[in-house]
A and B are shown apart, each in its own frame.
Chain A
Amino acid sequence: AQSVTQLDSQVPVFEEAPVELRCNYSSSVSVYLFWYVQYPNQGLQLLLKYLSGSTLVKGINGFEAEFNKSQTSFHLRKPSVHISDTAEYFCAVSSIKAAGNKLTFGGGTRVLVKP
C-alpha cells in the first residue's frame, strides 16, 4: 500500500516569488511519482512525472520537481509564480508493479498567488 503526505494545505505567495510545495510518500514497492494541478472548477491536469533516471524533472508551465529516494520526497518548485498559478496541487504515486494503474493522491496544497 502507498500513502502520500502533502505537508502544507495552503501556501500563500506573492506574484513573481518562488514557491515550493512539499510531498512525502510511503510505499513498500517502487512507485512512479506525479504532480497534478486542479484549477478552479476544472479537472486535474498533469504537471510532471518521475519514472526513473535523472532526479530533477521538468514539467509544464515552468514547474520542476526533485525526487529524493532517501527522504522519499518529491517536492515541486517554481522559481517565479504568476497569478494564473493559483490552483490546488496534488502529489500522487502509482505502483510500478501493480496490475492496474490507480493513483494514490495526497491531500492537496492550495496555492494562492497574491499581486
Chain B
Amino acid sequence: DSGVTQTPKHLITATGQRVTLRCSPRSGDLSVYWYQQSLDQGLQFLIQYYNGEERAKGNILERFSAQQFPDLHSELNLSSLELGDSALYFCASSVALAGAFEQFFGPGTRLTVL
C-alpha cells in the first residue's frame, strides 16, 4: 500500500459524458501528479500540482482539467469523453516540487468509455 488512494476504482461511461477522478496523496506529500496509461500511448504524464498550484503540464487534452484543493487532494475532470480516453489513470504523490524524490503511485482508476 503506497498510501495514495484513488476513487473510483472502475468507471464505465458513455461517449460525450463527463467524469471526475479523485486522488488523496500520502500524508505530508505536497505534489500530486496525474498519469494516463493506455495500450497505444503507454504511460504519459498529464499534469502536476504542488500545494494547490499547477506546476507542470504534459500532453493533457483541453477537454481534461485538474485541480488540487486546500486539503491537498486532487481531482481530474475529463469531459466530452471519447472512446480513445479509455485508459488507466494513475495519481502519484511526492513530498517535494522537484528533484529525485520518489513518486508514490495509487492503484489507478480504470476508465472505460463505451
Cβ B107 vs Cβ A42 within 8 A: yes
Which B residues touch A98, using CB under 8 A?
56, 98
Chain B positions 27 through 45: 1 when the CB is less than 8 Å from some CB of chain A, otherwise 0: 0000101010000001111
B25 within 8 A of A: no
User: With the chains together, A43 CA to B89 CA distance in Å?
Assistant: 10
Q: Which residues of B contact A (CB under 8 A)?
A: 2, 4, 31, 33, 35, 42-45, 48, 50, 55-56, 58, 90, 92, 94, 96-103, 105-108
Kindly supply a per-residue 1/0 record for chain A positions 40-66, scoring 1 wherever the CB is within 8 Å of any chain B CB and 0 otherwise: 011111100101000000000000000
Contacts of B48 in A (CB 8 A): 100-102
**Contact present for B2 and A94 (CB under 8 Å):** no
State the Cβ distance, A21 to closest chain B Cβ, in Å. 16
Q: In the complex, what distance in Å separates the CA atom of A44 from the CA atom of B45?
A: 14
Pull 18 A–B residue pairs with CB atoms less than 8 Å apart, ordered by A: A41-B107, A43-B106, A44-B90, A44-B92, A46-B103, A49-B102, A98-B56, A98-B98, A100-B97, A101-B33, A101-B56, A101-B96, A101-B98, A102-B56, A102-B58, A104-B45, A105-B44, A106-B42
Q: Which residues of B contact A90 (CB under 8 A)?
A: 43
Contact status of A105 and B55, CB under 8 A, knowing A43-B107, A44-B105: no
Residue contact A49 to B100, C-beta cutoff 8 Å: yes
Q: B42 and A43: CB pair below 8 A?
A: no
Q: Tell me, rounded to whole Å, the shortest Cβ–Cβ distance linking B16 to chain A.
A: 29
Q: Which of A64-115 contact B (CB under 8 A)?
A: 90, 94, 98-108
Cα distance, A104 to B58, chains bound together (Å) = 10
